[in-house]
Amino acid sequence: MSAAKKLVRILATRSGEAIELAFATEGGGTVKVLASEEQIDQLVDELEDILNSPSDSDDA
């Protein structure tokens, strides 16, 4: 697996039955993925869980 890159921008658009996500990274790279609506729902749920959980800095 490649090293993590800093995210600069996210673009989302519908592409037929799928949703296309484009992740622009620092340095000018772009990664595009196609996801189903169900996958997008799962992604949103996971991100909400992360955002609503205490961060590591809250433990100090």
Region 33-57: what's the mean pLDDT?
94
Single pTM value for the model: 0.77
Compute the half-sphere exposure of residue 54: CA atoms within 13 Å on the CB side of its CA: 5
pLDDT for the residue numbered 1: 81
Residues 7-20: tens digit of each pLDDT: 999 999 999 999 99
- Evaluate whether residue 36 is within a structural domain: yes
- Evaluate whether residue 60 is within a structural domain: no
- Evaluate whether residue 20 is within a structural domain: yes
Region 45-50: what's the mean pLDDT?
96
- Evaluate whether residue 25 is within a structural domain: yes
Share of the chain above pLDDT 90, in %: 85
- Evaluate whether residue 12 is within a structural domain: yes
- Please give the residue range of the domain that contains residue 20: 7-54
Number of domain units in the chain = 1
- Evaluate whether residue 59 is within a structural domain: no
